[in-house]
Structure 1
Amino acid sequence: MTTPPEVPVQDNKDNNDNKDKKVVKGKGKVDLNALSEEDEKYKQDIEMIIERVCENDENIQKTALDQIRSELTQETGTVTSVPKSLKFIKPHYDRLKETYAKAPASNKKNFAQLLSVLAMTLGKEDEREIIKYRLEGGDEDLQNWGHEYISALAGEVGKEFDHRSLSNPDLKDTDVEDLLELTKKLIPSMIKNNAEPEACDLLLEIERPKLIIDYSEPTNYKRICDYLESVAKYQLTPDDIEIRRIVYDVYTKQNKYIDALRIALLLNDRDLIKETFSHNEDKVVQKQMAIMLGRAFVKLEPEDDEDGSLSSLIGNTKLSEHYLYLAKELDSLDPKTPEDIYKSHLNENRSTLSQNIDSAKQNLAATFVNGFVNAGYGTDKLMTDEGSRWLYRNKDHGMMSAAASLGLLYLWNVDEGLAEVDKYLYSVEDFIKGGALLALGIVNAGVRSEVDAALALLGDYIESDKHDLRVGAILGLGIAYAGSAHEDVNEQLMPILADGDQPIEIVAFTALSLGLIFVGTANDDITEAIVQVLMERDEKTLSNTLVRYLCLALGFLFLGKQDAAKPIIETTKTLNAKIAGYCELTVETCAYAGTGNVLKVQQLLKICGEHLEEGKENRHQALAVIGIATIAMGEELGTEMATRSFDHLLQYADVNVKRAVPLALGLMNVSNPKMTVMDTLSKLSHDSDAEVAQGAIMALGLIGAGTNNARAAQMLRQLSTYYAKESSHLLVVRIAQGLLFAGKGLISLSPYFYDRTLLQPVVLCGLLTTMHTCLDLKKILLSQYHYLLYHLSLAMRPRMMITVDEDMNPLPVSVRVGTAVDTVAQAGRPKTITGFQTHNSPVILQFDDRAELGTEKYLSVSTILEGVVILKKNPDYVEEQE
């Protein structure tokens, strides 16, 4: 049969009714029914076949059905236009259905299959005729009708399942057995056509997603897992957990234990993490998994670890070594002074007299800047050079912060750090000793070892009769053991929390430290003790600004627990009205942190939109703004929508809400300096309200933290000139400058890692502590409690990608670094990065960067190139001959 000429395409609205229209050129008229000679003959042939189908003779009908089938199957490959045979069959569709009802049994099956295909374009949508006739015609020969038919049939399987579910709420497998059998035939056909996302969608619609595990193979498992992971983000609990468990099972089936461990970490299932780690016997893979566990702050005791190498990696004891290697390779070892950061000579257009005065506040600012900029390097030009001389250029609690900054300088380097800090423990000044105790905790932030030096040294000072020593020891323990759930520390701190005679300052800091140590564990004893304190203390005590840390500690205990936190949320409603709202919101927002839960965000927006009577203050309205950022962060669409909502709040909300908006923007974009957010914060930094301006300045430091962003640096330099005569504003500007250049640009404060798929609870805790501190800058950060800013040490992590060999020795290789591209559900093998540059490892990664190996000589053990990556030699690699 010759291929008929192409039919002109009409407007979509009457495309079905006017298929036969033809324009007769040169006549100036349109003949609606004119067909070419060839088309006319084809139409007559089709009509003749249909007449034979409608005859009563069984054999003639069978032959005619085979002819129509042959015509249709020849045309299923074309998807750019409707097959011509369908166009001519359309007027006879209802007649064919009537004939089918009277057709002999021997032809019924063949006839039903044909009608099912015709229903794809001719049937009525709400009657589900494709599935109806396909079930009557059997489930064989699906592939012969083309992938468009399979796709249409899969859609109707889902609709039919929904229809049966609505009519029968107690649906059993026997009630949908025919649909399940058809689905099992459809899935292989869909996977054969590289339609894994559609296959997953079908199984999700019929509530049988586990079936996809049986169809996962080495060639398709990655597409299946990537798609299901993206779907899980939009599911409510417990559906999201079920889907991620399926992804975990697919990875373990394919022996991809690195990816399986990542999913186990995402599920926050300790038993699953332990099982995954111990299941694999490949020592190199176990080393990579140990590095992952160390990055996630997960404490685990390896079973077969005679040389202690796995425990060392899990405990992050090599982190300082890798960080200093990165700094050496990038030529960043030379210490920087605060003046190198301020670059005051660029702002000499105004009088710099006030900047040159050696005030205690400016020295305090220099202390923080020096600590953040030289974090982890072990050398600087203030503390390690001048030491005690610099300490005495600060006053009172400024001395404490100055001594504590030594902990930042030796961050992660426990051996050298303890030796250096130890000499300050013999000082006659209590402030210096208290700062040194805090420094001991900071040095150990995120590092675990069997020695437990921090507990041994700090434990002796917890019951000291000197107030500042107790504060330093308690906060130091919280930072040193954050996320470890260390029971020995609990035994030492719990008596203080339970003692009703302790000052509220000590109790608040003790609760904060316990919250950090037992984050996400929902520990009953600590929860009960904190609630008891909030119930028993009088209203005057509860008005103290530090009580917020008791609420925050309660939130940390239930971080990420979602619905499991409902009982404690109900309990908080019974507390004193002065604190009940604040406490309830803190726990609720922590429980849903990073989930993107839209319903919770809407509730918080409603609270933000309330207008109070003049003179009244709603303490928890500002917290609701921070809560929106806490819930929406990490999910791109949610972050964008929250940012838009914040624009409305800035225009229409009350002033106490506006004060929290810049901080919330900073929290959502930590170490990710977006231009639009930066412009918004720049405007707010000149606001007439002092707290709005200070919050915006601090947020500028947070969004640029560790990035050395030139635009943010210029903004902060201009602000330092603008606020040169306002000491409080200038202090905040200096702190922001220190954060911007943290680790000389090698450190990130972002709580997300491994391609932004995992949320690090301890890092988030460090950021949230800072957020709650900044909600009352005047009484906390700009008063005597500025040392609470050192909780940011929990959030600091090198933003590096280092490649090492199987013995953990550095192995420089060619690496491509570019902007990450979302390739989920894309056909073929799309590029995963764009705009890349080729470097030799080690390299530093921006917030949305992704790295790929640029050589085939080695294979990476980890699928995500981030942090420390172990490389194996590629056994199939052949050296190119010159």
Structure 2
Amino acid sequence: MLTRDSAQLDKYFHSSDNHVTNGALLGVGIVNCNIKNDCDPALALLGDYVDREDASTRIGAIIGLGLAYAGSQNEQIRSKLSPILNDAKASLDVIAFTAVSLGLIYVGSCNEEVAQSIIYILMDREESELGEPLVRLLPLALGLLYLGKQENVEVTAEVAKTFNEKIRKHCEMTLLSCAYAGTGNVLKIQNLLGHCAQHLEKGETHQGPAVLGIALVAMAEELGLDMAIRSLEHLLQYGEQNIRRAVPLALGLLCISNPKVNVMDTLSRLSHDADSEVAMAAVISLGLIGAGTNNARIAGMLRNLSSYYYKDASLLFCVRIAQGLVHLGKGLLTLNPYHSERFLLSPTALAGLITTLHACLDMKAIILGKYHYVLYFLVLAMQPRMLMTVDENLKPLSVPVRVGQAVDVVGQAGRPKTITGFQTHSTPVLLAAGDRAELATEKYIPLSPMLEGFVILKENPDYRED
């Protein structure tokens, strides 16, 4: 399938239009995303384009490599991309996306060489450049290297305190939120809330990453998640304007592909906000919380918004993106950084979500500017919603399963219940957020856990039909 998709893209490499070629480069990265291949087809196809003169072509190849090799810690890619960070002739956007791609490839690895390269860039940049929106992707790339590594970030955080004051606090907040992502650390959430309580006068930008950080740290378990939603409601009421612009994005991250009614109502209200950036963030977040669910209520809201904003091209663009997300893969895909019933966190999936949300902090300059393709980082978090059962030879097997809301084990002694309000379906079957499936027949024994994706079954030798 991978070879066929790459062949489909091949014809676009010979186009005379640069934008078409750049799209093909990005497409190769998307097709190879989350796929391991000893032949390294992505490197073979994209490697030659990394050193081209045209900046947009280089960016297409660099992001393609970042998507294809996210989490792989591939030394070949590092040796290909690292020289760009030290290239004095390279434009700021090329350097920023190179740093992000290296951050994705070495996500959660604490790689010192990549970290030092990014730190040198942040130290060497002119003060006038540090106010550019794309420069904020450099602290994000640094944060991705320490994703979920907690105390390991302390040395780099101390170095960040020596940066220019225009970027210092932004870098500190980004590093802190990435390092403690998914840990549920209450003290770090309190620290981030403290930064959000300040009233700024210098036009600093660090409160946006702090708001996203609250969602990142608290997303690990249900109770912390609900508390974070309540805290974000208070920030909406009392926070500065730059905080209000980040709150919808934080809500989108907390309820990714899980359209909770209270969050949906909040985002619906904010999508009509007087501040266009708050409205745009709310619209994108409506797409995120409904991603792949085909949720009828969100789809109706977005149809109404497309009529309401038909004269505003920027907001209409955001509505169309959100509509695409709600019907992601025609309802067969989901955006989910967790797997195995929220037991394991995927660093690459979370990194893709964080990168997109940080880009959305400055909608007008990045998403609505030249860099709308940053939205494609979401592909790192895409995975199938369905549960498929296969036999020992990996051939599809249709069996009855009960699908219901997951609960902690309850019921009579010796007869535990793990789901409630179930319905019986035949596999393959779609699982929504919070759903769990269990076999409705004793004819088969599962050889792998009944979780998302594939489940391997074998026939039960003791089974007899009555």
Does the TM-score normalized on the shorter chain lie above 0.5? yes
Shift of 1:612: 2.3
Shift of 1:829: 3.5
SS at match of 2:141: helix
Alpha carbons of 1:865 and 1:622: their partners in 2 closer, same or farther (altered >3 Å)?
closer
Structure 1 segment 495-534 matched on structure 2, within 5 A = 495-534=83-122
Q: Check whether the contact 2:55–2:91 (CA below 8 A) recurs between aligned residues.
A: no
Cα deviations across residues 431-453 of structure 1 (Å, max 9, x unaligned)? Answer: 11111111111110111111101
The residue type paired with residue 741 of structure 1 is: H
Structure 1 segment 613-762 matched on structure 2, within 5 A = 613=201, 616-762=202-348
SS at match of 2:52: coil
Alpha carbons of 1:650 and 1:855: their partners in 2 closer, same or farther (altered >3 Å)?
same
Alpha carbons of 1:826 and 1:532: their partners in 2 closer, same or farther (altered >3 Å)?
farther
Q: Check whether the contact 1:500–1:533 (CA below 8 A) recurs between aligned residues.
A: no
The residue type paired with residue 124 of structure 2 is: E
User: Counterpart of 2:363?
Assistant: 777
- After superposition, the CA RMSD in angstroms is 1.2
Alpha carbons of 1:423 and 1:562: their partners in 2 closer, same or farther (altered >3 Å)?
same
Alignment partners' CA distance in 2, 1:492 and 1:639? 40
Picking from 29, 39, 49, the partner of 1:441 is 29
Shift of 1:527: 0.5
Q: Check whether the contact 1:505–1:546 (CA below 8 A) recurs between aligned residues.
A: yes
User: Counterpart of 1:787?
Assistant: 373
User: Counterpart of 1:297?
Assistant: none
Cα deviations across residues 364-385 of structure 1 (Å, max 9, x unaligned)? Answer: xxxxxxxxxxxxxxxxxxxxxx
Structure with the bigger RCO (C-alpha within 8 Å, sep 6+) is 2
Q: Check whether the contact 2:410–2:418 (CA below 8 A) recurs between aligned residues.
A: no
Q: Check whether the contact 1:483–1:518 (CA below 8 A) recurs between aligned residues.
A: yes
User: Counterpart of 2:186?
Assistant: 598
The residue type paired with residue 343 of structure 2 is: T
Cα deviations across residues 489-539 of structure 1 (Å, max 9, x unaligned)? Answer: 111001111223321111111000000001011111100100001001111
The residue type paired with residue 665 of structure 1 is: L
Q: Check whether the contact 1:852–1:865 (CA below 8 A) recurs between aligned residues.
A: no
Asked if residue 837 in structure 1 is aligned to residue 423 in structure 2, the reply is yes
Structure 1 segment 270-309 matched on structure 2, within 5 A = none
Cα deviations across residues 773-794 of structure 1 (Å, max 9, x unaligned)? Answer: 1000000011110011111111
Q: Check whether the contact 2:332–2:430 (CA below 8 A) recurs between aligned residues.
A: yes
Alignment partners' CA distance in 1, 2:366 and 2:260? 29
Q: Check whether the contact 1:634–1:668 (CA below 8 A) recurs between aligned residues.
A: no
Picking from 192, 195, 214, the partner of 1:607 is 195
Shift of 1:826: 9.2
User: Counterpart of 1:251?
Assistant: none
SS at match of 1:830: strand
SS at match of 1:797: strand
Shift of 1:828: 4.7
User: Counterpart of 2:141?
Assistant: 553
Structure 1 segment 800-839 matched on structure 2, within 5 A = 800-823=386-409, 828-839=414-425
Alignment partners' CA distance in 1, 2:414 and 2:235? 44
Alignment partners' CA distance in 1, 2:209 and 2:452? 34
SS at match of 1:803: strand
Q: Check whether the contact 1:799–1:845 (CA below 8 A) recurs between aligned residues.
A: yes
Cα deviations across residues 309-356 of structure 1 (Å, max 9, x unaligned)? Answer: xxxxxxxxxxxxxxxxxxxxxxxxxxxxxxxxxxxxxxxxxxxxxxxx
User: Counterpart of 1:763?
Assistant: 349
Alpha carbons of 1:442 and 1:417: their partners in 2 closer, same or farther (altered >3 Å)?
same
Cα deviations across residues 227-252 of structure 1 (Å, max 9, x unaligned)? Answer: xxxxxxxxxxxxxxxxxxxxxxxxxx
Asked if residue 563 in structure 1 is aligned to residue 127 in structure 2, the reply is no
The residue type paired with residue 630 of structure 1 is: L
Shift of 1:728: 0.5
User: Counterpart of 2:456?
Assistant: 870
SS at match of 2:12: helix
State the TM-score, normalizing by the size of structure 2. Answer: 0.98
Q: Check whether the contact 2:192–2:213 (CA below 8 A) recurs between aligned residues.
A: yes
Moved over 4 A (4+): 824-828
Q: Percent identity?
A: 58
SS at match of 2:76: helix
Asked if residue 415 in structure 1 is aligned to residue 14 in structure 2, the reply is no
Gapped runs of 5+ residues in structure 2?
A: none
Shift of 1:633: 0.6
SS at match of 1:686: coil
Q: Give the count of matched residue pairs.
A: 466
Shift of 1:862: 2.0
Picking from 481, 488, 493, the partner of 2:76 is 488
Alignment partners' CA distance in 1, 2:78 and 2:208? 32
Q: Check whether the contact 1:551–1:586 (CA below 8 A) recurs between aligned residues.
A: yes
Q: Check whether the contact 2:404–2:422 (CA below 8 A) recurs between aligned residues.
A: yes
Asked if residue 452 in structure 1 is aligned to residue 43 in structure 2, the reply is no
Q: Check whether the contact 1:634–1:752 (CA below 8 A) recurs between aligned residues.
A: no
Alignment partners' CA distance in 1, 2:437 and 2:86? 50
Decide which structure has greater strand share.
2
The residue type paired with residue 618 of structure 1 is: E
The residue type paired with residue 603 of structure 1 is: N
Alignment partners' CA distance in 1, 2:429 and 2:144? 34
SS at match of 1:702: helix
SS at match of 1:445: coil
The residue type paired with residue 565 of structure 1 is: V
Q: Check whether the contact 2:411–2:417 (CA below 8 A) recurs between aligned residues.
A: no
Alignment partners' CA distance in 1, 2:329 and 2:165? 43
Alignment partners' CA distance in 2, 1:446 and 1:751? 13
SS at match of 2:39: coil
Alignment partners' CA distance in 1, 2:44 and 2:323? 35
Which protein is bigger by CA-based radius of gyration?
1
Alignment partners' CA distance in 1, 2:409 and 2:274? 45
Q: Check whether the contact 2:46–2:61 (CA below 8 A) recurs between aligned residues.
A: yes
Q: Check whether the contact 1:514–1:553 (CA below 8 A) recurs between aligned residues.
A: yes
The residue type paired with residue 566 of structure 1 is: E
User: Counterpart of 1:381?
Assistant: none
Q: Check whether the contact 1:755–1:864 (CA below 8 A) recurs between aligned residues.
A: no
Alpha carbons of 1:659 and 1:470: their partners in 2 closer, same or farther (altered >3 Å)?
same
Alignment partners' CA distance in 2, 1:676 and 1:508? 37
The residue type paired with residue 461 of structure 2 is: P
Q: Check whether the contact 1:633–1:639 (CA below 8 A) recurs between aligned residues.
A: yes
Shift of 1:457: 0.8
